[in-house]
Structure 1
Amino acid sequence: MRLTPFSGPPLTFTARLHDARTATVIGRLLGLAVVVCFATGLLSHLLQHPPGRLADLLPSRPSWGYRFTQGLHVASGTAAIPLLAAKLWAVYPRLFAWPPVRSVRHALERLSVAVLVAAGIFELVTGLLNTFQWYPWAFSFVPAHHAVGWLLMGALLLHLAVQWPRIRDHFTRRSPGTLALPAADGPDRRQLLAAVAAGAGAVTLTTVGQSVTPLGPLELFGPRSPAHGPQGLPVNRTAAAARVTVASLTGWRLAVAGPRPYVLTLEELRRMRQHEVTLPLACVEGWSTSARWTGVRVRDLLELAGAGPGARCRVVSVEAAGAYRVTEMGRAYAQDPLTLLALGLNGEVLSLDHGYPARIIAPNRPGVLQTKWVGRLEVL
């Protein structure tokens, strides 16, 4: 394959593996990973930022739902990294084709490829760094990651529409000239695809243990081990980061606002009927682990304040500032018997970093919404 770049001597690409069929096969795997990653990421965004009254439609069951979907989100995104690299390797000679635009269709193709590649790299790089909680940029990660995700899907759909005839031909094996590969080309297509699949599988298996407990022993490169942390549970936002200290909690009271507002001390909360539940704590970075939580059912606290059976709830932390200092729970979460104002973790009193004196733990809920250092509940 002889291609002319913008200047200089012509470049020659002789490897037959830089062909449409190889790119199509890798593209199927990459497309599947991207679609799964986008769908689970969209669900995560809806759970974290439910628009308007949609909050009441979000389900609290299965209790492990968010743990599964967010783990799948991070795993599919991780698998997409070597797949994207392989896809770019298979098609990169075409990026040097000259002239850069030959027709309207070709212009659309080039535009879709440029946006697709840029958005894909942006999503995978920022998503990977988010799992390490490293943000070397000035913009806010969540809205940028969400917006570019939509841009990526739009570019992908445009790319598929423009390339569909070629994809269809190679998908249905209508191009017999690309089936046979000469021995001089080195590894054939099957060996290349096997290597790509093995690479994607390897990076996934060695990182997914942070959310899939049975695979924990295989976790070599995961940024977080869910078994390490105070009281056997990792901490994302420490009390020091939230500027919460033992001194600032002196005289702590829980205020419950509603038709019959009241205030409780920690001792009064402990004298109420205690419930124990086993629920996962699942964070957006992909790690998750189950723990035993002890505390008072939120629905019982709301009922004492005069809330009806369909009441929603607003939760306010005593921390001075934070993106999730104030959160809301729809009806399903507020009324679920598994949703607790937790006072204990794994048989011990909550540590300060885990939200002492009281925190929210609810089923099928992102970790950022499991509010710590709760100081106020409001009936909505």
Structure 2
Amino acid sequence: MTFRMPGPRPALPAFRPPRFTGRLHDARTATAVGRWLGLAFAVCLVTGLVSHYLQRPPGWLADRLPTRPVWGYALNQGLHVATGLAAIVLLLVKLWAVYPRLFVWPPVRSVRHALERLSVALLVASAVFELFTGLLNIVEWYPWPFAFVPVHFAVAWVVTGSVLLHVAVKAPEIRDHWGRSSAGTRSLPAEDAVDRRSLLLATGGAVGVVTLTTVGQSFTPLKAFDLLAPRHPDHGPQGLPVNRTAGAAGVAVQDLRQWRLEVAGPRPYVLTLDALRAMPQTRVRLPIACVEGWSVDADWAGVQVRELVARAGGRPGTAAVRVTSLELSGAYRVMEMGADYVDDPLSLLALTLNGQVLSLDHGFPARIIAPNRPGVLQTKWVHRLEVR
């Protein structure tokens, strides 16, 4: 029997990072697109904070939320969604401009380089997550197990922090390529300037097309171009879109045969629908604006909330209200209305929409409508008011 000594193992091929030879993957292009993207992120952050705190105000703010201008939330949320959609286009172009740098080797060369890589990783991951989950929220598709609102709010701060970290680390390079006459820009091939302008013009055109074909859902003069938005301001029962139908909320006509409005407070009482209709009716024209970005002005009529609260013993200017819907479940089945909203003469328990009795999908027999308020808080199928 003979034994053979094992021969030398074949050498593994050396790792070679991918090589990128395309043009315009440079700091000047990244800086030019990054300015637009940073502005879009800033607008999204500010409008997102306004929306979040109008929906979920801390206790100290609940009674001090502004009710004017009446179209404030419609403008805020329309701007939030429009800039978020524009930011998707800008982020894709920005990633195209910088993606060769994502594969640099070795991955870490110094402490400063490690911070730069960390800022890039945080920025890319959080920005992609924030924008694309926001896009899915617009179309009301939630293929994830977590609650959208708190996670979206939390990741917004991660995006903000990663942007600030990235800008701080890349400040020298940004400064060198900020303008056409900057030192770094002058060192780039002159023949790339024409193509770079073409790329930036195409990017601006793409942003314009996306904006034009979606913003009509909130800016109704452009509703004829509303081709890509999931909502059209004229489509829906009684000429108004509906997000949550009665069927989705578990509210059926047979559940309303014995409907009564219960008002709890120092002097509690109960009203039938006929009794509500016999009370003095107030007519207002107010927008209903949803977090998904669409908004529509409509004519509403009903009983002032402050009249119902005063009848139950609530003190003017100080009484808040808890509103409960007939829907079986949902994050907004119970809604808190602060004192400023309660005391506003435009805040109604509405019974009609555009001169017609509310349809079931729009909240029959009664719903809340109030100025400068998110649509999710304009509670439908109201059956109980609790004066607090």
1:179 to partner: Cα distance: 5.2
Q: TM-score, normalised by structure 2?
A: 0.93
Match of 1:174 in 2: 183
CA distance in 2, matches of 1:301, 1:286: 31
The 1:296/1:164 distance shift into structure 2, 3 A limit, reads same
Give the 5 Å matches for 1:193-342. 193-309=200-316, 310-342=318-350
CA distance in 2, matches of 1:378, 1:202: 47
State the AA in 1 paired with 2:341: Y
The 1:186/1:27 distance shift into structure 2, 3 A limit, reads closer
Residue 357 (structure 2) pairs with residue 349 (structure 1): yes
CA distance in 2, matches of 1:275, 1:22: 57
Residue by residue, what CA displacement relative to the aligned partner does 1:288-329 show, whole Å, maximum 9, x if unpaired? 101100100000110111111121111111222111010011
Residue 87 (structure 2) pairs with residue 80 (structure 1): yes
Match of 1:38 in 2: 45
1:191 to partner: Cα distance: 1.3
| More divergent stretch after superposition (153-162 vs 187-196) | 187-196
1:96 to partner: Cα distance: 1.2
CA distance in 2, matches of 1:216, 1:227: 9
1:187 to partner: Cα distance: 5.0
Give the 5 Å matches for 1:45-124. 45-124=52-131
Give unpaired runs (5+ residues) of structure 2.
1-13
State the AA in 2 paired with 1:105: R
Residue by residue, what CA displacement relative to the aligned partner does 1:173-196 show, whole Å, maximum 9, x if unpaired? 1224345432xx595221111111
CA distance in 2, matches of 1:352, 1:12: 59
Give the 5 Å matches for 1:123-138. 123-138=130-145
Contact 1:181 1:188 in 2 (8 A): no
Contact 2:17 2:104 in 1 (8 A): no
1:76 is paired with a residue whose SS is helix
CA distance in 2, matches of 1:58, 1:164: 38
CA distance in 2, matches of 1:378, 1:316: 8
State the AA in 1 paired with 2:373: R
| More divergent stretch after superposition (62-71 vs 236-245) | 236-245
The 1:144/1:175 distance shift into structure 2, 3 A limit, reads same
Q: How many residues align?
A: 372
Give unpaired runs (5+ residues) of structure 1.
1-5
1:216 to partner: Cα distance: 0.6
1:278 is paired with a residue whose SS is strand
Contact 1:13 1:93 in 2 (8 A): no
Over the aligned positions, Cα root-mean-square deviation in angstroms equals 1.4
CA distance in 2, matches of 1:13, 1:144: 39
1:139 to partner: Cα distance: 1.6
Q: TM-score, normalised by structure 1?
A: 0.95
The 1:57/1:79 distance shift into structure 2, 3 A limit, reads same
1:307 is paired with a residue whose SS is coil
Residue by residue, what CA displacement relative to the aligned partner does 1:147-185 show, whole Å, maximum 9, x if unpaired? 111111111111111111211222251224345432xx5
Contact 1:209 1:216 in 2 (8 A): yes
Residue by residue, what CA displacement relative to the aligned partner does 1:42-70 show, whole Å, maximum 9, x if unpaired? 11111111111211121011100000000
Contact 2:17 2:103 in 1 (8 A): no
Match of 1:3 in 2: none
State the AA in 1 paired with 2:113: H
